[in-house]
């Protein structure tokens, strides 16, 4: 497939490379049309947080890793965008925290489920739940097609990682008593607000970092991990993320030009 060539000297090379991966995912039937739009919304928030992992997100990742390691049935839920951007990291993380992978889509079609499962298997996944008839259970509280889940996965999970989402499912899963970890650049989204824990970061940066943190923590005592897992206040976490965006915007508003500030931070 012909891809747009991106010069490594382009000032926004990394961001453009991520876009290309999504566009390729769209062409191969992995990413939904709405997934491209959703990415644009994420990019806008990435500008606001400074396009880097904040100390706040790192703190959340440590607790997220503990939640997954302390869980009996951790599941990583994968949609089109997550598959196109971080399929390999998803597989690596499942190995560190002994989680299952389940495909769960908002814009559901068997073709997309199969294409996503193939991408995950090519990335090293041994088992992919939720494809076709496998998602035979229904969560009544969810209005969208996301209500269909795998009885071996999300239905019995006690901790679910949902890298970029729509809010209804997160709310329903939390109501069912599950711990829901969201990765979402937008701290104002319904998903971010309803989750047990929200990592306000780009999944492209967050997934490899979360995996490294989990690898370091996995030899810790389970009880200690359990205590760490319940030590989190998501309201406080979101307040910090919003305060950080607010502080950055206030500083930028004083200067007027964002690019000048970028230049100054390099010297
Ligand atoms: O593959 P499907 O059919 O399950 O559909 C997936 C999408 C993403 C289309 C669907 O879940 C959806 O419509 O999501 P929303 O409601 O648009 O929410 C997506 C959220 O992800 C928004 O809050 C974005 O800010 C955020 N987001 C987008 N790109 C990233 C991101 N967060 C972290 N990293 C990103 N790269």
How far is Cα 106 from Cα 145, in angstroms, rounded to an integer?
A: 6
Q: In the structure, what pLDDT confidence band is assigned to residue 217 with cuts at 50, 70 and 90?
A: very high
Mean pLDDT (the chain) is: 92
The Cα 77–Cα 165 span in angstroms is 10
- Ligand 1 atom closest to Cα of 189? 23
Q: How far is the CA of 91 from the centre of ligand 1 (A)?
A: 20
pLDDT of residue 257: 74
pLDDT higher than 70, residue 73: yes
The percent of residues in the chain predicted with pLDDT above 70, rounded, is 94
Give pLDDT, residue 3.
62
Query: Crossing angle for the helix pair 80-97 and 110-122, nearest 10 degrees?
Result: 40
**Is 184 close to ligand 1, i.e. is its CB under 6 Å away?**
yes
Between these two residues, 1 and 71, which has the higher pLDDT value? 71
Confidence of residue 2 (pLDDT cuts 50, 70, 90): low
Closest C-alpha residue for ligand 1 atom 12: 166
Contact 163, 86 (CB under 8 A): yes
- Ligand 1 centroid, distance to 224 Cα (angstroms): 33
Provide the token pair at 177: 């008593």
Q: Which of 39-43, 196-200, 250-254 has the lowest mean pLDDT?
A: 250-254
**82-91 pLDDT, tens digit each:** 999 999 999 9
Residues in the chain: 267
Residue whose entry in the numeric block shows the structure tokens 């030009």: 257
Q: Which residues pair with 75 in a beta bridge?
A: 100, 160
Q: Alpha-carbon distance 158 to 68, whole Å? A: 9
Give the residue among 134, 133, 139, 129 at the shortest CA–CA distance from 102: 129
Choosing from 164, 171, 173, 183 the residue with most ligand 1 atoms within 8 A of its CB, the one to mutate for a pocket test is 164
Q: Does the pLDDT at position 256 exceed 80?
A: no
Residue 107 beta carbon below 6 angstroms from any ligand 1 atom? yes
Is the per-residue pLDDT at 260 higher than 90? no
| Ligand 1 in reach of 130 Cβ (< 6 A) | no
The minimum-distance atom of ligand 1 relative to the CA of 190 is 23
- Tell me the mean pLDDT in the region 122-134: 97
Ligand 1 mean position, distance from CA 22 (Å): 12
The reported pTM is 0.93
- pLDDT at position 1 is 52
- CB of residue 38 inside a 6 A radius of ligand 1: yes
Q: Which residue minimizes the CA distance to atom 11 of ligand 1? A: 165
Task: Give per-residue pLDDT as tens, 50-70.
Answer: 999 999 999 999 999 999 999
Give 124 Cα–ligand 1 centroid separation in angstroms. Answer: 24
Q: How confident is the model at residue 5 (pLDDT cuts 50, 70, 90)?
A: confident
Task: Establish whether residue 183 lines the binding site of ligand 1, counting it when its CB lies within 6 angstroms of any ligand atom.
Answer: yes
Instruction: Tell me which residue has tokens 């919304």.
Output: 41
**Tokens read off for 220:** 């810790």
The mean per-residue pLDDT over the stretch 14-22 comes to: 90
Ligand 1 pocket test target in 76, 87, 184 with most atoms within 8 Å of CB: 184
Secondary structure string (H, E, C) spanning the chain: CCCCCCCCCCCCHHHHHHHHHHHHHHHCCCCCHHHHHHHHHHHHHHHHHCCCCCHHHHHHHHHHHHHHHHCCCEEEEECHHHHHHHHHHHHHHHHHHCCEEEECCCCCCHHHHHHHHHHHHHCCCCCCECCHHHCCEECCCCCCHHHEECCCCCCCCCEEEEECCCHHHHHHHHHCCCEEEEECCCCCCHHHHHCCEEECCCHHHHHHHHHHHHHHHCCCCHHHHHHHHCCCCHHHHHHHHHHHHHHHHHHHHHHCCHHHHHHHHHC
| Residues 266, 263: Cα–Cα separation, whole Å | 5
Q: What pLDDT sits at residue 98?
A: 97
* Region 127-139 average pLDDT: 95
Output the pLDDT for position 145: 86
Q: Is the pLDDT of residue 226 over 70?
A: yes
pLDDT above 70 for 24? yes
Of all protein residues, whose CA lies closest to atom 24 belonging to ligand 1?
42
The protein residue with its alpha carbon nearest to ligand 1, atom 15, reads: 166
């Amino acid at each position: 497939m012909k891809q747009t060539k991106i010069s490594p000297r382009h000032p926004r090379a990394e961001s453009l490379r991520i876009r290309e991966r999504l566009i390729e995912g769209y062409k191969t039937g992995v990413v939904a049309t709405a997934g491209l739009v959703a990415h644009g919304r994420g990019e806008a928030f990435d500008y606001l947080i400074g396009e880097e992992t904040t100390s706040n997100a790192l703190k959340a990742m440590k607790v997220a890793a503990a939640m997954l390691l302390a869980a009996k049935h951790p599941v990583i839920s994968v949609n089109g965008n997550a598959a196109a951007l971080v399929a390999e990291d998803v597989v690596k993380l499942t190995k560190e925290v002994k989680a299952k992978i389940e495909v769960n889509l908002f814009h559901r079609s068997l073709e997309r489920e199969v294409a996503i499962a193939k991408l995950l298997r090519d990335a090293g996944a041994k088992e992919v739940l939720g494809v076709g008839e496998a998602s035979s259970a229904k969560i009544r509280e969810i209005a969208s097609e996301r209500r269909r889940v795998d009885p071996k996965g999300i239905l019995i999970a006690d901790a679910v990682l949902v890298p970029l989402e729509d809010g209804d499912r997160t709310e329903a899963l939390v109501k069912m008593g599950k711990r829901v970890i969201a990765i979402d650049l937008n701290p104002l989204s319904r998903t971010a607000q309803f989750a047990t824990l929200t990592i306000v970061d780009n999944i492209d940066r967050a997934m490899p970092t979360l995996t490294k943190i989990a690898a370091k923590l996995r030899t810790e005592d389970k009880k200690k991990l359990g205590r760490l897992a319940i030590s989190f206040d998501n309201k406080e976490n979101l307040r910090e993320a919003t305060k950080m965006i607010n502080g950055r915007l206030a500083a930028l508003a004083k200067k007027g030009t964002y690019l000048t500030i970028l230049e100054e931070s390099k010297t």
